[in-house]
Chains A and B, each alone.
Chain A
Amino acid sequence: MKDRHLAILIGVISLAMVTGLWEFVSDHRIVSPALLPPPSSVARALVTLIADGDIWQQLLHTAALFAGSYAIACVVGIAVGIWMGCSEFVDGLLQPIVELLRPIPKSALVPALFLFLGIGPLTMVTVVVVAAVFPVLINVYQGVRGLDPVLSETARTFGCSRWRTIRSVVLPATLPAIFTGMKVALSLGIVLAVLAEMLAGQSGLGFIILDTQRAFQTDQMYAWVVVLAAFGAACSLLFDRIERFAIPWHGR
């Protein structure tokens, strides 16, 4: 208990020192405030964004793009991963394609996607889906492959159909692996959503960060970065809560 308080105290001191140093180098023009405005003016810009309500439109755009694409990626990744894990035929069919596409940094596909899907929402969604689907798919697949054979034998001795075995045994038993994949996909998905907005967006956090940078409104630019960081942290926190609720037996 005491150790935890101490750790928090050290963390706060560390943050205060970094912010203090940032304020110092900016105030004394060691780094030009045009490039790095002091944290006080970034904070003022942030308060203005919130007070004026500008924050919501951009935040909602990113949140909607990310959430929609992430949901598609998770459903597709889980379904295909389980399918490949349970069927030798589907595994043989899809494994080479997955292995071919997986190592490509998905951002490299953006220019090609522009050609086919145009510079717009369809491309943005596709980029995020393609980036987020692989970690889910791979983890689910390996999770199914690594399932304890005793579990499937148990299902067989109770005369479970193939479909019931998948639904009532394979799926819940793979939940820890599903969550591991979804966790990786979460951070990747946010990165690609912001990148997509920078390259193809008309609004959203990625778009506005680039837009304020081009307009030399650096205090606003940093304020938006702070909003983005908070969004990422909130998603991660929410995810951990859901994970603890959904797989209480894991790690016992």
Chain B
Amino acid sequence: MAARVSLQNVRKVFDDGSGASLVAIDGVSLEATRGEFLAIVGPSGCGKSTLLKIIAGLIEPTAGLVEEDGRRVAGPPARFVYLFQQYSRSLFAWRTVLANVMFPLEQTAGSRADIKETCRRFIAQVGLAGFEDRYPWQLSGGMQQRVAIARALAANPDVLLLDEPFSAVDALTRMELQTLVLELCQRNGFTAILVTHDVEEAVFMADRVAVLTQRPTRVAEIVPIGLPRPRNQLTTREDPRFLELRHHLMTALLGDAVDAGR
């Protein structure tokens, strides 16, 4: 199958200001096929977010290539949406929930009434019906991230770029949001790339998990998950294969630090 998104030998070198250069990403090649859910895990500070921003066209790679359906990406592609870890800062505080969700559609043709109707449907899909006229600061963290998801849906994406989008909410809300995103991906056939430091989250959501090394970052290995879909927060997490994968990935990431109190 053809890759929807692919990275070839992507390198990113930062100038640290004193003339010395810092190699953040050193030749990463990855691909996500159409409809695939790819998770990227790695130790903190390994440049996961930088990598995702390069895929999103927000940061230029120093060398290498990002391709969308075999075409080189220059600038943010129209059908990619990005869900930020800092959802509360990504939402527009001066707009209501409905107006936030309408933002991507305001430049398109079509009557305002139709756009409103469409956006109400997206808001209902993320479970926020009845909250259309609230402002973001009147909502809980989990609800704010749902607004961000509804706004992403309004942009008519087919690729979701998820930058640790559930790391700032409590454990139960995180599970609800994971399930919501998986449902949306399934229903709409989205391709998704998730960056996370949470190994269980990666295994639970993804078809394949790419493990990154410490800086300078490379791909250490790519682990196929192969757990049946739809995933279930209880049964999937109790599946022996889930525990096996979790064990394997944890070992890869933690190395010698697995045992405590030696």
Question: Which positions in A face B, CB cutoff 8 Å?
Answer: 148, 150-151, 153-154, 156-160, 164, 168-169, 172-173, 175, 247-249, 252
Contacts and interface: CB of A to CB of B under 8 A. Distances in A.
Nearest to A154: B90
Contacts of A148: 89
Given A150-B84, A175-B94, A248-B135, 14 more contacts: A151-B92, A154-B90, A156-B57, A156-B75, A156-B76, A157-B76, A158-B81, A164-B107, A168-B106, A169-B92, A172-B94, A173-B92, A249-B93, A249-B94
Contact of A158 (B84, B95, B155): B155
A173 B56 contact: no
Contact of A157 (B56, B93, B94, B136): B56
A249 B139 CA distance: 12
Interface of B: 53, 56-58, 75-76, 78, 80-82, 84, 86, 89-90, 92-95, 103-104, 106-107, 135-137, 155
6 contacts: A151-B92, A153-B58, A154-B82, A154-B84, A156-B76, A249-B137
A174 to B, nearest CB: 10
A156 B94 CA distance: 18
Contacts of A150: 84, 86, 89-90
Contacts of B104: 158
Contacts of A159: 76, 78
Contacts of B57: 156
Contact of B82 (A153, A168, A247, A252): A153
Contact of B92 (A156, A164, A172): A172
Contacts of B93: 173, 249, 252
Nearest to A161: B107
B103 A249 contact: no
Contacts of A151: 89-90, 92
B199 to A, nearest CB: 26
A168 B58 contact: no
Contacts of B78: 159
B51 to A, nearest CB: 15
A164 B89 CA distance: 19
A117 B56 CA distance: 55
Nearest to A251: B137
A166 to B, nearest CB: 14
A173 B89 contact: no
A222 B130 CA distance: 58
B89 A157 contact: no
A158 B108 CA distance: 12
B58 A158 contact: no
A178 to B, nearest CB: 12
Contacts of B80: 157
A157 B57 CA distance: 8
A107 B22 CA distance: 52
Contacts of A252: 93, 137
Contacts of B76: 156-159
A185 B76 CA distance: 40
A244 to B, nearest CB: 14
Contacts of A153: 53, 58, 82, 84, 90
Nearest to A250: B93
A172 B93 CA distance: 9
B112 to A, nearest CB: 15
A153 B163 CA distance: 13
Contacts of B106: 168
